[in-house]
Structure formats: C-alpha cells, structure tokens
Amino acid sequence: MSALFEPYTLRSLTIPNRVWMPPMCQYSAAPEGPLTGAPTDWHLQHYGARAAGGTGLIIVEATAVSPEGRISPYDLGIWNDAQVEAFRRLTRFLAGQNTVPAIQLAHAGRKASTDRTWTGGAPLGPDALGWQPVAPSPVPFDAGHPVPAELSVTEIQEIVGQFADAARRALDAGFEVAEIHGAHGYLVHEFLSPHTNHRTDAYGGSFENRIRFALEVTDAVREVWPEDKPLFFRVSATDWLEEGGWSPDDTVRLAGLLEEHGVDLLDVSTGGNAPGVRIPVGAGYQVPFAARVKNETTLPVAAVGLITGTEQAEKILANGEADAVLVGRELLRNPSFARHAARELGADVHVPDQYHRSV
C-alpha cells in the first residue's frame, strides 16, 4: 500500500489518507457587520473543492479567538455564535466528502491589524478598520509597524480563556481537530522566542518561562476539547536567526512537553518571527525539521514546505521523515492533487459520485 494513502488514526479519529491541506489565509471574510469573521461562499467553494479532490484532512486557515487576534480585518474568527453557524455549513460539506475538518485557532499578536497580502499587507490604523496590536513585549515587527502594547498578566489570562472559548465553539461548529497556532511570529510564537519576548516576569526569560503561555493555552484547549478528538500544535522550528531566536533544539524540547500536555501531532513549519532573515527556500526545505522531531521524540509530526509532487510526498512518508504531509501551494494550483496522486500510486481515494466519469 502507498504510504501516502494509508489511513492514519489519532485517538479515535481515523483520517483517510496522509495528504493534508495546511492553513492558508484567504483574507475573504467580512471586515465588519453582523457576520464579521464568518466564512463566506468563497470559503465554501475553496475548501469544498479540495475536499472533493480527495484531501484527507483540511485545516481551515488561522481563525482568530478574538477580534483583536485577527491578522487582518478580513480574517476568519470564531469568537461568537453567528460565526459558529456559518462554519457548520463548511464542516458539513467537508465531512460529506470524507474529509476531516480541522481548524487553526490563532491570535496574531504584534502582527495583527494589517491589510490583505495582495494589497501589500501594510499595518492598518483605526481609521482603516485597524486596531492596536498586543504582544509579550513592546517590540514592533518591523520598521513602519506600530509598537504593540505589552500584555499584562491579567490580559494574558484573558487570551488563554479566549482560546478555550474558541475551541468550544469549534467543536460546536463540527470540527474534528483543533490546531493551536504557535508559529510564524504570531502571539504564541512571540512568547516562545527570546527575539520577541523580553519580559522579566513569569512569562519571560528562561525557556520554562517563555513556553508557559503556550502550555497554558494548550491545557485550556485540551480541557474543553473532547478526549477522543486530536489536538495539533503548529510550530516554527526555527526563527532562522544565528543567535537570540527560537531554535530547532528548543522545538525538540518543546515537542516532548506538548505531548505530555495532550498534543497529538506537531505541525512543523519555520520562520515568520523576524523580518529580513535568509531562508534557504527549496523543495521540501522544512522537512528536515519535522524529521528531527520525529526521530528525537515520540510525538507524531506533519511536514510542510514546498511539497509539490507525488513521488516527493510518498518518499517523505516512506522514509519515516513525517507521519503526514501538508500540501499548500500545490493544492492552490490543483484542488484534486490527492486524486491525481492516488492514480499515480495505484491507490484508492474518495471520489464524489458526481465525478464518477473521472475515475
């Protein structure tokens, strides 16, 4: 049997194959009004097409746990019940196509309140649907970005509660997997990395203090997320800084602790916390970071990063470098990547009845 199309079980959930879609922001939610942050027709057709194409699990893009936690005013959110109802339409369709619906719960921290990427992604002020970003420390992301407000301990605990509330709503909306966004320079990552966390209290300084927020969020989500459903955590395995940043060694160390706190799989990415760093981008460039976690811990991992071909994806799994692959850009180009890969490998994959002539 093809490794890529072997089912994968975490807790009581069996995922039909190892071709998964990573969270990729669409910046297509309403920025204001009664359905602010709710998924739209765009999201239904976008995710629905990949489900109909045979993708085993789809992680819906970064979904904010509060209005201030959005990357942009056009991000998805799950802080109210109107959003929950809108998500149900999406999860029903994905589940109906034999695809596991997952959601990434997120807070953008100091990288919040920016425009959509295709219009430049510049910071937005209050006069342009923006707001004041927050962070562990008052350190702006880059030149031209606002100085974020330093979070008080009380505010930190409020955000921990917002993650738990968002997880409850995600369950009510029909999601089978929740993922905590701890990568790409957003709030959880900002606490992890000494590059962005300059605090001197219980949330800063030592490794143990800097991971405190991540573990508190994990515990809060795990407490409300059902025992039989998996919890993922996305991490940037490195800041790509020579010194003073989050490192692969830190990631391995954190992985073991996350497993102890109820995380079932580590979604391993890199970067996003420091602008202007040199990243050696190339085919599968982030896979070695996932492979190291898999080799040095017992926590399952998913690999991501320019995984674009069937043979490449199959080899990553067959070599034991990861337990699943997250196919991003290629799924944007080809919603039926999984079905085409199954045909190449002589494997079976779900095909909608309406597409029976394509088999």
Q: Which of 27, 186, 203, 285 is catalytic?
A: 186
The distance of Cα 145 from the centroid of its chain, to the nearest Å, equals: 24
Q: Which residues pair with 59 in a beta bridge?
A: 102
Evaluate whether 21 touches 335 at the Cβ level (below 8 Å): no
Strand, coil or helix: what is 71?
Answer: coil
| E strand or H helix at 243 | none
Evaluate whether 191 touches 136 at the Cβ level (below 8 Å): yes
Q: Compute the distance between CA of residue 321 and CA of residue 293 in angstroms, rounded to an integer.
A: 9
Evaluate whether 91 touches 52 at the Cβ level (below 8 Å): no
Evaluate whether 130 touches 146 at the Cβ level (below 8 Å): no
What is the number of alpha carbons within 13 Å of residue 274 lying toward its C-beta? 20
| E strand or H helix at 39 | none
Evaluate whether 314 touches 308 at the Cβ level (below 8 Å): no
Evaluate whether 195 touches 212 at the Cβ level (below 8 Å): no
- 74: annotated active-site residue: no
Q: Using H for helix, E for strand and C for coil, what is the string for 181-193?
A: EECCCCHHHHHHC
Which residues lie below 8 Å from residue 240, measured CB to CB, with a gap of 6+? Answer: 270, 271, 274, 277, 278, 279
Structure tokens at 160: 């921990």
Active site residues: 186
